[in-house]
Chain A
Amino acid sequence: MPTEPLLTAEDLHLSFGSTPALDSASVEVHAGEILALMGPSGSGKSTLLHCLAGILTPDSGRVTYAGRDLTALHDNERSALRRSEFGFVFQFGQLVPELTCLENVALPLRLGGASRRAALRSAEAWLERLEVSDVADKRPGQASGGQGQRVAVARALVTRPKVVFADEPTGALDSLNGERVMELFVAAARDTGAAVVLVTHEPRVAAYSDHEAVVRDGRVRAREYVR
Protein backbone atom coordinates (compact mmCIF):
# COMPACT_ATOMS: atom_id res chain seq x y z
CA MET A 1 0.00 0.00 0.00
CA PRO A 2 1.56 3.24 -1.06
CA THR A 3 -0.77 5.51 0.94
CA GLU A 4 -0.63 6.04 4.66
CA PRO A 5 -3.36 4.12 6.48
CA LEU A 6 -6.17 6.30 7.86
CA LEU A 7 -6.63 4.30 11.04
CA THR A 8 -4.15 1.94 12.64
CA ALA A 9 -4.06 -0.16 15.73
CA GLU A 10 -0.62 -1.22 16.90
CA ASP A 11 0.02 -3.94 19.39
CA LEU A 12 -3.18 -3.47 21.40
CA HIS A 13 -3.58 -5.25 24.73
CA LEU A 14 -6.77 -5.08 26.73
CA SER A 15 -8.08 -7.21 29.57
CA PHE A 16 -11.48 -7.19 31.24
CA GLY A 17 -10.58 -8.18 34.76
CA SER A 18 -8.37 -11.22 34.35
CA THR A 19 -9.83 -12.15 30.94
CA PRO A 20 -7.63 -10.97 28.10
CA ALA A 21 -9.73 -9.63 25.22
CA LEU A 22 -7.00 -8.26 23.01
CA ASP A 23 -3.51 -9.73 22.93
CA SER A 24 -1.20 -7.76 20.70
CA ALA A 25 -3.75 -6.93 18.04
CA SER A 26 -2.66 -4.79 15.10
CA VAL A 27 -4.64 -3.74 12.06
CA GLU A 28 -4.73 -1.00 9.44
CA VAL A 29 -7.65 0.68 7.75
CA HIS A 30 -7.12 2.77 4.64
CA ALA A 31 -9.31 5.63 3.52
CA GLY A 32 -12.35 4.47 1.62
CA GLU A 33 -11.72 0.75 2.03
CA ILE A 34 -14.09 -1.78 3.54
CA LEU A 35 -12.43 -4.08 6.03
CA ALA A 36 -14.20 -7.09 7.46
CA LEU A 37 -13.17 -8.18 10.95
CA MET A 38 -14.01 -11.85 11.17
CA GLY A 39 -13.57 -14.51 13.76
CA PRO A 40 -15.47 -16.74 16.13
CA SER A 41 -17.56 -15.16 18.84
CA GLY A 42 -15.50 -14.14 21.85
CA SER A 43 -12.44 -13.74 19.65
CA GLY A 44 -12.17 -10.03 20.46
CA LYS A 45 -13.34 -8.60 17.15
CA SER A 46 -15.97 -6.31 18.70
CA THR A 47 -13.46 -5.20 21.33
CA LEU A 48 -11.00 -4.38 18.57
CA LEU A 49 -13.72 -2.35 16.82
CA HIS A 50 -14.46 -0.46 20.03
CA CYS A 51 -10.75 0.32 20.45
CA LEU A 52 -10.43 1.49 16.84
CA ALA A 53 -13.44 3.75 17.34
CA GLY A 54 -12.05 5.27 20.53
CA ILE A 55 -14.90 3.87 22.61
CA LEU A 56 -12.56 1.71 24.65
CA THR A 57 -9.03 2.61 25.59
CA PRO A 58 -6.59 -0.29 25.37
CA ASP A 59 -4.36 -1.11 28.33
CA SER A 60 -1.36 -0.68 26.06
CA GLY A 61 -0.66 -0.03 22.40
CA ARG A 62 -1.62 2.82 20.12
CA VAL A 63 -4.63 3.63 18.01
CA THR A 64 -3.80 6.31 15.45
CA TYR A 65 -6.40 8.13 13.39
CA ALA A 66 -5.21 10.59 10.76
CA GLY A 67 -1.99 11.04 12.69
CA ARG A 68 -3.62 11.54 16.11
CA ASP A 69 -3.09 9.05 18.90
CA LEU A 70 -6.63 8.28 20.12
CA THR A 71 -5.37 6.69 23.32
CA ALA A 72 -3.77 10.00 24.31
CA LEU A 73 -6.92 12.08 23.76
CA HIS A 74 -9.25 13.20 26.52
CA ASP A 75 -12.63 11.49 26.65
CA ASN A 76 -14.35 14.67 25.46
CA GLU A 77 -12.04 14.96 22.47
CA ARG A 78 -12.69 11.36 21.52
CA SER A 79 -16.43 11.99 21.84
CA ALA A 80 -16.11 14.98 19.53
CA LEU A 81 -14.13 12.87 17.09
CA ARG A 82 -16.80 10.18 17.12
CA ARG A 83 -19.46 12.79 16.49
CA SER A 84 -17.73 14.35 13.51
CA GLU A 85 -15.50 11.73 11.87
CA PHE A 86 -17.03 8.36 12.72
CA GLY A 87 -20.37 6.68 12.20
CA PHE A 88 -21.80 3.61 13.92
CA VAL A 89 -24.17 0.80 13.06
CA PHE A 90 -24.95 -1.89 15.64
CA GLN A 91 -26.89 -5.09 15.55
CA PHE A 92 -30.09 -3.73 17.13
CA GLY A 93 -31.48 -1.51 19.86
CA GLN A 94 -29.56 1.51 18.66
CA LEU A 95 -32.42 3.78 17.60
CA VAL A 96 -33.92 6.06 20.23
CA PRO A 97 -37.41 4.60 20.64
CA GLU A 98 -39.15 7.91 21.34
CA LEU A 99 -37.83 9.73 18.28
CA THR A 100 -39.20 9.19 14.78
CA CYS A 101 -36.88 7.49 12.27
CA LEU A 102 -36.27 10.85 10.63
CA GLU A 103 -35.30 12.43 13.94
CA ASN A 104 -33.06 9.49 14.73
CA VAL A 105 -31.15 10.07 11.51
CA ALA A 106 -30.95 13.79 12.21
CA LEU A 107 -29.68 13.20 15.76
CA PRO A 108 -25.89 13.02 15.02
CA LEU A 109 -26.08 16.23 13.00
CA ARG A 110 -27.90 17.96 15.81
CA LEU A 111 -25.39 16.63 18.34
CA GLY A 112 -22.75 18.21 16.12
CA GLY A 113 -24.53 21.55 16.41
CA ALA A 114 -26.50 21.68 13.15
CA SER A 115 -29.85 23.45 13.18
CA ARG A 116 -32.90 21.29 13.52
CA ARG A 117 -34.22 22.27 10.13
CA ALA A 118 -30.98 21.61 8.26
CA ALA A 119 -30.47 18.32 10.09
CA LEU A 120 -33.95 17.10 9.21
CA ARG A 121 -33.46 18.05 5.57
CA SER A 122 -30.21 16.04 5.32
CA ALA A 123 -31.83 13.18 7.17
CA GLU A 124 -34.69 13.12 4.69
CA ALA A 125 -32.28 12.82 1.79
CA TRP A 126 -30.49 9.94 3.50
CA LEU A 127 -33.68 8.05 4.25
CA GLU A 128 -34.51 8.37 0.56
CA ARG A 129 -31.04 7.18 -0.39
CA LEU A 130 -31.62 4.05 1.73
CA GLU A 131 -35.16 3.63 0.41
CA VAL A 132 -36.91 4.00 3.75
CA SER A 133 -38.64 7.38 3.27
CA ASP A 134 -41.93 5.74 4.11
CA VAL A 135 -40.96 5.18 7.74
CA ALA A 136 -39.63 8.73 8.22
CA ASP A 137 -42.42 9.78 10.58
CA LYS A 138 -42.81 6.43 12.30
CA ARG A 139 -41.06 5.47 15.48
CA PRO A 140 -38.46 2.68 15.29
CA GLY A 141 -40.85 0.34 17.05
CA GLN A 142 -43.28 0.68 14.15
CA ALA A 143 -40.69 -0.09 11.46
CA SER A 144 -39.53 -3.58 10.48
CA GLY A 145 -36.09 -4.87 11.44
CA GLY A 146 -34.71 -4.32 7.95
CA GLN A 147 -36.10 -0.81 7.78
CA GLY A 148 -34.69 -0.08 11.23
CA GLN A 149 -31.20 -1.16 10.16
CA ARG A 150 -31.40 0.97 7.05
CA VAL A 151 -32.41 3.91 9.23
CA ALA A 152 -29.39 3.11 11.40
CA VAL A 153 -27.16 3.06 8.31
CA ALA A 154 -28.58 6.40 7.22
CA ARG A 155 -27.85 7.74 10.68
CA ALA A 156 -24.27 6.45 10.54
CA LEU A 157 -23.65 8.12 7.18
CA VAL A 158 -25.56 11.36 7.63
CA THR A 159 -22.55 13.20 9.03
CA ARG A 160 -20.46 12.02 6.03
CA PRO A 161 -18.00 10.32 8.36
CA LYS A 162 -14.52 9.20 7.35
CA VAL A 163 -14.98 5.81 9.00
CA VAL A 164 -18.15 3.85 9.69
CA PHE A 165 -17.95 1.14 12.34
CA ALA A 166 -20.52 -1.59 11.84
CA ASP A 167 -20.86 -4.34 14.43
CA GLU A 168 -22.89 -7.23 12.99
CA PRO A 169 -25.18 -4.82 11.15
CA THR A 170 -27.23 -7.68 9.67
CA GLY A 171 -27.00 -9.97 12.68
CA ALA A 172 -30.68 -9.68 13.54
CA LEU A 173 -31.99 -9.82 9.97
CA ASP A 174 -32.94 -12.62 7.58
CA SER A 175 -30.81 -13.18 4.48
CA LEU A 176 -32.92 -11.14 2.10
CA ASN A 177 -33.12 -8.09 4.37
CA GLY A 178 -29.51 -8.54 5.34
CA GLU A 179 -28.39 -8.55 1.72
CA ARG A 180 -30.42 -5.46 0.92
CA VAL A 181 -29.04 -3.58 3.92
CA MET A 182 -25.48 -4.52 2.96
CA GLU A 183 -25.97 -3.55 -0.69
CA LEU A 184 -27.35 -0.14 0.19
CA PHE A 185 -24.83 0.34 2.98
CA VAL A 186 -21.78 -0.53 0.88
CA ALA A 187 -22.97 1.48 -2.11
CA ALA A 188 -23.66 4.53 0.03
CA ALA A 189 -20.35 4.18 1.89
CA ARG A 190 -18.45 3.98 -1.39
CA ASP A 191 -20.28 7.03 -2.69
CA THR A 192 -19.29 9.11 0.30
CA GLY A 193 -15.78 7.66 0.35
CA ALA A 194 -16.17 6.41 3.92
CA ALA A 195 -14.00 3.57 5.09
CA VAL A 196 -15.97 0.80 6.78
CA VAL A 197 -14.85 -1.46 9.60
CA LEU A 198 -17.31 -4.33 9.51
CA VAL A 199 -17.46 -6.88 12.28
CA THR A 200 -19.28 -9.97 11.13
CA HIS A 201 -19.19 -13.71 11.47
CA GLU A 202 -21.15 -14.23 8.24
CA PRO A 203 -18.92 -14.85 5.20
CA ARG A 204 -21.66 -13.62 2.86
CA VAL A 205 -21.65 -10.28 4.67
CA ALA A 206 -17.85 -10.25 4.73
CA ALA A 207 -17.96 -10.74 0.97
CA TYR A 208 -19.07 -7.11 0.67
CA SER A 209 -15.67 -6.06 2.01
CA ASP A 210 -12.54 -5.29 0.10
CA HIS A 211 -10.56 -7.58 2.36
CA GLU A 212 -10.76 -9.23 5.70
CA ALA A 213 -8.82 -9.58 8.90
CA VAL A 214 -9.38 -12.61 11.07
CA VAL A 215 -9.32 -12.14 14.82
CA ARG A 216 -8.66 -15.16 16.95
CA ASP A 217 -7.81 -15.16 20.66
CA GLY A 218 -7.43 -11.41 20.70
CA ARG A 219 -4.94 -11.43 17.86
CA VAL A 220 -5.30 -10.51 14.21
CA ARG A 221 -4.39 -13.72 12.45
CA ALA A 222 -4.64 -12.95 8.79
CA ARG A 223 -5.14 -10.01 6.59
CA GLU A 224 -5.52 -10.47 2.85
CA TYR A 225 -5.34 -7.75 0.29
CA VAL A 226 -7.23 -8.28 -2.88
CA ARG A 227 -7.36 -5.23 -5.03
Chain B
Amino acid sequence: MIRRSLLKLANPQLLALIGVLLINWLLFPNFFRVTWQDGRFFGSLIDVINRGAPVAILAVGMVGVIATKGVDLSVGAVMAVAGAVAATMVVAGYPAPIAVVAALAVGLLCGLWNGILVAVLDIQPIIATLVLMVAGRGIAQLITEGFIVTFNDPLLIYIGTGSFFGFPMAAVIALVLMVVVTLIVRRTAIGLFIEAVGVNRAAASLAGIRSRMLLLLVYSLSGFCAAIAGIIVAGDIRGADANNAGLWLELDAILAVVIGGTSLLGGRFSVPLAVIGALIIQAMNTGILVSGFPPEFNLIVKAGLIFIVLVIQSPLASRLAPPRLQPAAKVPAK
Protein backbone atom coordinates (compact mmCIF):
# COMPACT_ATOMS: atom_id res chain seq x y z
CA MET B 1 0.00 0.00 0.00
CA ILE B 2 2.74 2.40 0.99
CA ARG B 3 4.84 1.33 -1.96
CA ARG B 4 1.90 1.94 -4.27
CA SER B 5 1.41 5.46 -3.04
CA LEU B 6 5.15 6.10 -3.35
CA LEU B 7 5.03 4.84 -6.91
CA LYS B 8 2.09 7.10 -7.59
CA LEU B 9 4.23 10.05 -6.58
CA ALA B 10 6.49 9.41 -9.55
CA ASN B 11 3.86 10.57 -12.01
CA PRO B 12 4.54 12.68 -15.09
CA GLN B 13 3.11 15.87 -13.56
CA LEU B 14 5.41 15.80 -10.55
CA LEU B 15 8.37 14.95 -12.74
CA ALA B 16 7.45 17.86 -15.03
CA LEU B 17 7.25 20.21 -12.06
CA ILE B 18 10.65 19.05 -10.83
CA GLY B 19 11.99 19.42 -14.37
CA VAL B 20 10.74 22.99 -14.71
CA LEU B 21 12.12 23.88 -11.28
CA LEU B 22 15.51 22.40 -12.20
CA ILE B 23 15.59 24.40 -15.45
CA ASN B 24 14.80 27.51 -13.40
CA TRP B 25 17.65 26.57 -11.07
CA LEU B 26 20.05 26.27 -14.02
CA LEU B 27 18.96 29.67 -15.32
CA PHE B 28 18.98 31.28 -11.93
CA PRO B 29 21.32 29.57 -9.42
CA ASN B 30 19.70 31.21 -6.40
CA PHE B 31 16.32 29.76 -7.32
CA PHE B 32 16.12 27.28 -4.43
CA ARG B 33 17.55 29.62 -1.81
CA VAL B 34 14.93 30.30 0.83
CA THR B 35 15.70 32.80 3.56
CA TRP B 36 13.89 33.65 6.77
CA GLN B 37 13.14 37.33 7.14
CA ASP B 38 10.60 39.31 9.17
CA GLY B 39 8.92 36.13 10.38
CA ARG B 40 8.37 34.59 6.98
CA PHE B 41 10.15 32.68 4.26
CA PHE B 42 11.49 34.50 1.24
CA GLY B 43 12.77 33.17 -2.06
CA SER B 44 11.80 32.37 -5.61
CA LEU B 45 10.42 29.00 -4.63
CA ILE B 46 8.09 30.58 -2.05
CA ASP B 47 7.16 33.11 -4.69
CA VAL B 48 6.12 30.34 -7.07
CA ILE B 49 3.88 28.84 -4.39
CA ASN B 50 2.45 32.21 -3.44
CA ARG B 51 1.79 33.45 -6.98
CA GLY B 52 0.49 30.06 -8.07
CA ALA B 53 -2.06 29.92 -5.26
CA PRO B 54 -4.97 31.76 -6.95
CA VAL B 55 -4.76 29.56 -10.06
CA ALA B 56 -4.37 26.48 -7.84
CA ILE B 57 -7.54 27.45 -5.95
CA LEU B 58 -9.42 28.00 -9.22
CA ALA B 59 -8.12 24.67 -10.47
CA VAL B 60 -9.50 22.87 -7.39
CA GLY B 61 -12.96 24.12 -8.34
CA MET B 62 -12.45 23.64 -12.07
CA VAL B 63 -11.43 19.98 -11.69
CA GLY B 64 -14.89 18.93 -10.57
CA VAL B 65 -16.55 20.84 -13.39
CA ILE B 66 -14.27 19.42 -16.08
CA ALA B 67 -14.68 15.91 -14.64
CA THR B 68 -18.41 16.18 -15.41
CA LYS B 69 -17.48 16.99 -19.02
CA GLY B 70 -18.15 20.68 -18.44
CA VAL B 71 -16.07 23.80 -18.21
CA ASP B 72 -16.42 27.01 -16.22
CA LEU B 73 -15.33 30.07 -18.18
CA SER B 74 -16.73 32.50 -15.64
CA VAL B 75 -14.24 32.00 -12.80
CA GLY B 76 -12.15 35.06 -13.71
CA ALA B 77 -15.23 37.28 -13.76
CA VAL B 78 -16.51 35.74 -10.50
CA MET B 79 -13.12 36.58 -8.94
CA ALA B 80 -13.65 40.19 -9.94
CA VAL B 81 -17.19 40.20 -8.53
CA ALA B 82 -16.14 38.64 -5.22
CA GLY B 83 -13.21 41.03 -4.86
CA ALA B 84 -15.50 43.96 -5.62
CA VAL B 85 -18.05 42.82 -3.04
CA ALA B 86 -15.44 42.34 -0.31
CA ALA B 87 -13.73 45.65 -1.03
CA THR B 88 -16.86 47.80 -1.27
CA MET B 89 -18.28 46.25 1.91
CA VAL B 90 -15.22 46.97 4.06
CA VAL B 91 -15.02 50.46 2.59
CA ALA B 92 -18.69 50.97 3.46
CA GLY B 93 -17.85 50.12 7.07
CA TYR B 94 -18.93 46.51 7.45
CA PRO B 95 -16.65 44.31 9.58
CA ALA B 96 -14.19 42.36 7.47
CA PRO B 97 -15.42 38.85 8.40
CA ILE B 98 -18.91 39.74 7.21
CA ALA B 99 -17.48 41.15 3.97
CA VAL B 100 -15.52 37.95 3.40
CA VAL B 101 -18.55 35.77 4.07
CA ALA B 102 -20.67 37.94 1.77
CA ALA B 103 -18.08 37.70 -1.01
CA LEU B 104 -17.93 33.92 -0.62
CA ALA B 105 -21.73 33.77 -0.67
CA VAL B 106 -21.81 35.82 -3.86
CA GLY B 107 -19.29 33.44 -5.43
CA LEU B 108 -21.39 30.48 -4.38
CA LEU B 109 -24.44 32.15 -5.87
CA CYS B 110 -22.63 32.79 -9.17
CA GLY B 111 -21.62 29.13 -9.25
CA LEU B 112 -25.16 28.07 -8.47
CA TRP B 113 -26.44 30.21 -11.34
CA ASN B 114 -24.03 28.45 -13.72
CA GLY B 115 -25.10 25.12 -12.26
CA ILE B 116 -28.78 25.89 -12.81
CA LEU B 117 -28.13 26.84 -16.44
CA VAL B 118 -26.18 23.63 -17.01
CA ALA B 119 -28.14 21.15 -14.90
CA VAL B 120 -31.71 22.43 -15.06
CA LEU B 121 -31.86 24.25 -18.39
CA ASP B 122 -29.45 21.80 -20.04
CA ILE B 123 -27.33 24.46 -21.70
CA GLN B 124 -23.86 23.55 -22.91
CA PRO B 125 -21.39 24.44 -20.14
CA ILE B 126 -19.15 26.61 -22.37
CA ILE B 127 -22.05 28.83 -23.31
CA ALA B 128 -23.82 28.75 -19.96
CA THR B 129 -20.73 30.04 -18.20
CA LEU B 130 -20.00 32.45 -21.04
CA VAL B 131 -23.05 34.46 -19.95
CA LEU B 132 -21.49 35.19 -16.59
CA MET B 133 -18.04 35.63 -18.11
CA VAL B 134 -19.39 38.46 -20.29
CA ALA B 135 -21.77 39.97 -17.76
CA GLY B 136 -19.70 39.32 -14.62
CA ARG B 137 -17.15 42.06 -15.23
CA GLY B 138 -19.97 44.46 -15.91
CA ILE B 139 -21.57 43.49 -12.60
CA ALA B 140 -18.23 43.95 -10.82
CA GLN B 141 -17.94 47.41 -12.40
CA LEU B 142 -21.44 48.17 -11.23
CA ILE B 143 -20.52 47.23 -7.65
CA THR B 144 -17.34 49.31 -7.63
CA GLU B 145 -19.05 52.05 -9.67
CA GLY B 146 -16.21 51.98 -12.15
CA PHE B 147 -13.45 52.79 -9.67
CA ILE B 148 -10.66 50.68 -8.27
CA VAL B 149 -11.86 50.42 -4.68
CA THR B 150 -8.86 50.48 -2.35
CA PHE B 151 -8.96 49.51 1.31
CA ASN B 152 -6.74 49.18 4.37
CA ASP B 153 -8.59 46.45 6.16
CA PRO B 154 -6.06 44.27 8.03
CA LEU B 155 -8.00 41.01 7.65
CA LEU B 156 -8.39 41.25 3.87
CA ILE B 157 -4.76 42.27 3.48
CA TYR B 158 -3.76 39.36 5.71
CA ILE B 159 -5.67 36.95 3.48
CA GLY B 160 -3.87 38.30 0.44
CA THR B 161 -0.35 38.87 1.70
CA GLY B 162 -0.09 37.54 5.26
CA SER B 163 1.99 34.64 6.42
CA PHE B 164 1.03 31.58 8.41
CA PHE B 165 3.98 29.97 10.24
CA GLY B 166 6.21 31.68 7.71
CA PHE B 167 4.33 30.41 4.68
CA PRO B 168 2.25 32.72 2.46
CA MET B 169 -1.38 32.73 3.56
CA ALA B 170 -2.62 32.30 -0.01
CA ALA B 171 -0.64 29.08 -0.39
CA VAL B 172 -1.87 27.80 2.97
CA ILE B 173 -5.49 28.44 1.93
CA ALA B 174 -4.89 26.65 -1.37
CA LEU B 175 -3.33 23.67 0.42
CA VAL B 176 -6.16 23.39 2.96
CA LEU B 177 -8.76 23.66 0.21
CA MET B 178 -7.00 21.01 -1.85
CA VAL B 179 -6.82 18.59 1.09
CA VAL B 180 -10.44 19.15 2.12
CA VAL B 181 -11.82 18.76 -1.40
CA THR B 182 -9.64 15.71 -2.06
CA LEU B 183 -10.86 14.07 1.13
CA ILE B 184 -14.48 14.85 0.31
CA VAL B 185 -14.33 13.43 -3.21
CA ARG B 186 -12.08 10.46 -2.48
CA ARG B 187 -13.23 9.35 0.98
CA THR B 188 -16.87 9.42 -0.01
CA ALA B 189 -18.57 8.21 -3.15
CA ILE B 190 -18.96 11.73 -4.53
CA GLY B 191 -15.81 11.46 -6.66
CA LEU B 192 -17.07 8.26 -8.19
CA PHE B 193 -20.46 9.86 -8.90
CA ILE B 194 -18.76 12.85 -10.55
CA GLU B 195 -16.79 10.50 -12.78
CA ALA B 196 -19.92 8.54 -13.61
CA VAL B 197 -21.77 11.69 -14.64
CA GLY B 198 -18.78 12.76 -16.70
CA VAL B 199 -18.61 9.50 -18.60
CA ASN B 200 -22.31 9.26 -19.37
CA ARG B 201 -24.84 11.46 -17.69
CA ALA B 202 -27.87 9.55 -18.89
CA ALA B 203 -26.46 6.22 -17.72
CA ALA B 204 -25.45 7.72 -14.38
CA SER B 205 -28.98 9.02 -13.90
CA LEU B 206 -30.44 5.64 -14.76
CA ALA B 207 -28.09 4.08 -12.23
CA GLY B 208 -29.70 6.26 -9.57
CA ILE B 209 -27.17 9.08 -9.30
CA ARG B 210 -28.84 12.45 -8.81
CA SER B 211 -26.82 14.00 -11.58
CA ARG B 212 -28.65 17.32 -11.45
CA MET B 213 -27.80 17.80 -7.76
CA LEU B 214 -24.22 16.79 -8.46
CA LEU B 215 -23.81 19.31 -11.29
CA LEU B 216 -25.23 22.07 -9.08
CA LEU B 217 -22.67 21.04 -6.47
CA VAL B 218 -19.60 21.10 -8.73
CA TYR B 219 -20.48 24.45 -10.31
CA SER B 220 -21.21 25.95 -6.88
CA LEU B 221 -17.84 24.71 -5.66
CA SER B 222 -16.17 26.29 -8.67
CA GLY B 223 -17.87 29.63 -7.93
CA PHE B 224 -16.91 29.36 -4.27
CA CYS B 225 -13.25 28.67 -5.12
CA ALA B 226 -13.28 31.59 -7.55
CA ALA B 227 -14.56 33.84 -4.76
CA ILE B 228 -11.70 32.73 -2.47
CA ALA B 229 -9.19 33.45 -5.23
CA GLY B 230 -10.87 36.81 -5.84
CA ILE B 231 -10.54 37.82 -2.18
CA ILE B 232 -6.86 36.78 -2.19
CA VAL B 233 -6.10 38.77 -5.32
CA ALA B 234 -7.96 41.81 -3.97
CA GLY B 235 -6.13 41.54 -0.64
CA ASP B 236 -2.83 41.23 -2.48
CA ILE B 237 -3.18 44.58 -4.27
CA ARG B 238 -5.27 46.11 -1.44
CA GLY B 239 -7.99 46.97 -3.89
CA ALA B 240 -10.66 45.55 -6.18
CA ASP B 241 -9.98 46.10 -9.87
CA ALA B 242 -13.11 45.05 -11.73
CA ASN B 243 -11.40 45.15 -15.11
CA ASN B 244 -8.21 43.25 -14.44
CA ALA B 245 -8.76 41.03 -11.40
CA GLY B 246 -8.63 37.45 -12.57
CA LEU B 247 -8.39 38.42 -16.23
CA TRP B 248 -7.63 35.29 -18.31
CA LEU B 249 -7.13 33.24 -15.16
CA GLU B 250 -9.96 30.93 -16.25
CA LEU B 251 -7.70 29.83 -19.08
CA ASP B 252 -4.79 29.19 -16.71
CA ALA B 253 -7.11 27.22 -14.45
CA ILE B 254 -8.33 25.06 -17.34
CA LEU B 255 -4.74 24.57 -18.44
CA ALA B 256 -3.72 23.55 -14.92
CA VAL B 257 -6.51 20.99 -14.79
CA VAL B 258 -5.61 19.60 -18.21
CA ILE B 259 -1.91 19.38 -17.31
CA GLY B 260 -3.04 17.57 -14.18
CA GLY B 261 -4.24 14.72 -16.35
CA THR B 262 -7.97 15.34 -15.93
CA SER B 263 -9.68 14.24 -19.11
CA LEU B 264 -11.60 16.95 -20.96
CA LEU B 265 -13.98 14.25 -22.07
CA GLY B 266 -14.98 13.70 -18.44
CA GLY B 267 -14.70 10.73 -16.19
CA ARG B 268 -11.15 10.98 -14.89
CA PHE B 269 -9.87 13.61 -12.51
CA SER B 270 -7.37 14.37 -9.80
CA VAL B 271 -7.49 17.39 -7.51
CA PRO B 272 -3.86 17.28 -6.24
CA LEU B 273 -2.47 16.85 -9.75
CA ALA B 274 -4.43 19.90 -10.92
CA VAL B 275 -2.79 21.89 -8.13
CA ILE B 276 0.59 20.59 -9.29
CA GLY B 277 -0.46 21.69 -12.79
CA ALA B 278 -1.03 25.21 -11.45
CA LEU B 279 2.42 25.15 -9.86
CA ILE B 280 3.99 24.00 -13.14
CA ILE B 281 2.39 26.96 -14.92
CA GLN B 282 3.59 29.39 -12.25
CA ALA B 283 7.09 27.88 -12.21
CA MET B 284 7.24 28.45 -15.97
CA ASN B 285 6.00 32.02 -15.56
CA THR B 286 8.66 32.72 -12.97
CA GLY B 287 11.32 30.99 -15.05
CA ILE B 288 10.49 33.05 -18.12
CA LEU B 289 10.52 36.24 -16.06
CA VAL B 290 13.86 35.57 -14.33
CA SER B 291 15.52 34.53 -17.58
CA GLY B 292 14.67 37.87 -19.12
CA PHE B 293 12.25 36.81 -21.87
CA PRO B 294 9.26 39.10 -22.41
CA PRO B 295 6.27 37.86 -20.38
CA GLU B 296 4.26 37.43 -23.59
CA PHE B 297 6.58 34.58 -24.47
CA ASN B 298 4.70 32.69 -21.82
CA LEU B 299 1.62 32.43 -24.02
CA ILE B 300 3.56 30.58 -26.71
CA VAL B 301 5.04 28.20 -24.16
CA LYS B 302 1.56 27.57 -22.75
CA ALA B 303 0.18 26.89 -26.22
CA GLY B 304 2.98 24.38 -26.79
CA LEU B 305 2.26 22.78 -23.44
CA ILE B 306 -1.46 22.38 -24.22
CA PHE B 307 -0.56 20.81 -27.53
CA ILE B 308 1.84 18.30 -25.96
CA VAL B 309 -0.71 17.30 -23.31
CA LEU B 310 -3.45 16.92 -25.94
CA VAL B 311 -1.26 14.72 -28.11
CA ILE B 312 -0.39 12.52 -25.12
CA GLN B 313 -4.06 12.28 -24.08
CA SER B 314 -5.41 11.66 -27.56
CA PRO B 315 -6.68 8.28 -28.73
CA LEU B 316 -4.23 8.57 -31.64
CA ALA B 317 -1.24 8.46 -29.29
CA SER B 318 -2.55 5.46 -27.40
CA ARG B 319 -2.97 3.60 -30.67
CA LEU B 320 0.60 4.37 -31.72
CA ALA B 321 2.20 3.77 -28.33
CA PRO B 322 3.12 0.24 -27.19
CA PRO B 323 0.38 -1.14 -24.92
CA ARG B 324 2.18 -0.73 -21.61
CA LEU B 325 2.65 3.00 -22.22
CA GLN B 326 -0.99 3.61 -23.03
CA PRO B 327 -2.05 6.62 -21.01
CA ALA B 328 -5.72 6.22 -21.88
CA ALA B 329 -5.84 2.64 -20.63
CA LYS B 330 -5.37 3.75 -17.03
CA VAL B 331 -8.27 3.16 -14.73
CA PRO B 332 -9.32 6.37 -12.94
CA ALA B 333 -6.73 7.00 -10.25
CA LYS B 334 -8.17 6.33 -6.85
A binds B: no
Interface residue ranges, A against B (CB under 8 Å):
none
